[in-house]
Amino acid sequence: MTLQTILIGWFHAKNPPSGIEEATLNQLKSSGKGEDSEGPFIPITDDESETTNFLSDADRLFLSDFINETYLKKDAIDEIQKRFEEDSSVQLRHFIKSDLAIRISKACVAIDSKDKLGRGNPSLDYKIGIANGWEAVGPAHKQRFLEYTGTESANREDAGALLKYVQTHVLQSAAFGRFLALLSSLGMPRGYRGKVRRFRPGLDYTVAHYGILTTKSVLDLTLCFVAGNGSQPTYDEDTGDLIGSDDDAIWASGDAGGFECYIAADEEADEEADDEYDDEDDTELLSVTACYNTLSLVYRNPGTMRFVKYCGSGAPSSRWDLSLEYEVDDDEDEAEDQDGENFNEVIEKGS
């Protein structure tokens, strides 16, 4: 019989061992590789030579085939613009027209049902859902989720194809870019990059790390689909406790995870940081609840990281989303007004 000894504990030495730069903690703390998980921005071709403070009839007609017409009205646009300028973020419920949203939702429910995920079902197979254009994304110490890389289609009753269609045909269009310019007052986006994602209950997440810090400010857009109907949660006036136990309330409680969180990066961290990385010690600026058919817009500066909290096995469904970043004008004078503490103060009002 061969005896094996396993040592568990801290290793102490005068000098760090070789290969220490490859340790998971140091990789997460490294600030030398900005934007290592995202590709380049793809330019948006804008056929309009003049920027106006209203939607043209052509843009309104195009967008009205996909977007809740409430958000295309001038009064609504003005109100959203005002809110975004105050908070640097805004969430728009029931954003996609109901007929298309219902088709997407039914397709998502069908896949979750087939995979038997969520609502406490065990999640032991990391390969579940990897098929029909869905591929796993890693590495595991930074992220794990599925990305749809298949073809788009407005006619197929397939979640990936439908979401990809909305991304390419709507969210990446010049008409939608001009719509974003009105909502955000940041001007016409110059480019975009993004993906269709699925976060499976009990399996998937992303981690805040320094490699995803951008070199310039960006406009984040996330269009989320989860179980529920997108209702505004209600709270007890006396205790402040969340009321309800339906799917919307479960997501709003945060107990099931799956929400997107923005935190301030430690500006003093360096590539050889040896302190423990703990996101609970970082400054949370904004938390965006996973909510059915809800669009989230957040202006993110280079000092801010974001991540999707681990989606627990008790979540009512997978978190399905379209996650895009838009390249916007980054005026140095305006950037100074929203950098560091000033930016943090602004975005905290939206949390």
Provide the CATH number for the domain around residue 220. 3.60.130.20
**pTM of the shown model:** 0.83
The number of folded domains in the chain is 1
Percent of the chain at pLDDT > 70 equals 77
Q: What pLDDT digit, counting tens, does each position of 147-164 carry?
A: 999 999 888 899 999 999
29 located within any domain: no
HEC profile of the chain: CCCCCCCCCCCCCCCCCCCHHHCHHHHHHCCCCCCCCCCCCEECCCCCCCCCCCCCHHHHHHHCCCECHHHHCHHHHHHHHHHHHHHCEEEEECCECHHHHHHHHHHHHHHHHHHCCCCCCCCCCCCCCCCCCEEEECCCCCEEEEEECCCCCCCCCCHHHHHHHHHHHHHCCHHHHHHHHHHHCCCCCCEEEEEEEEECCCCCEECCCHHHCCCCCEEEEEEEECCCCCCCCEECCCCCCEECCCHHHHHHHCCCCCCEEEEECCCCCCCCCCCCCCHHHCEEEEEECCCCCEEEEEEECCCEEEEECCCCCCCCCCEEEEEEEEECCCCHHHHHHHCHHHHHHHHHCCC
pLDDT score, position 343: 34
pLDDT score, position 16: 63
Does 19 score more than 70 pLDDT? no
Does 2 score more than 90 pLDDT? no
Q: What pLDDT digit, counting tens, does each position of 50-84 carry?
A: 666 789 999 999 999 999 999 999 999 999 999 99
pLDDT confidence bin for 288, thresholds 50/70/90: very high
203 located within any domain: yes
pLDDT score, position 268: 59
33 located within any domain: no
231 located within any domain: yes
30 located within any domain: no
Residue 157: which domain range? 39-45+53-348
19 located within any domain: no
Percent of the chain at pLDDT > 90 equals 63
10 located within any domain: no
329 located within any domain: yes
Kindly report which listed range (109-118, 221-230, 279-288) carries the lowest average pLDDT score: 279-288
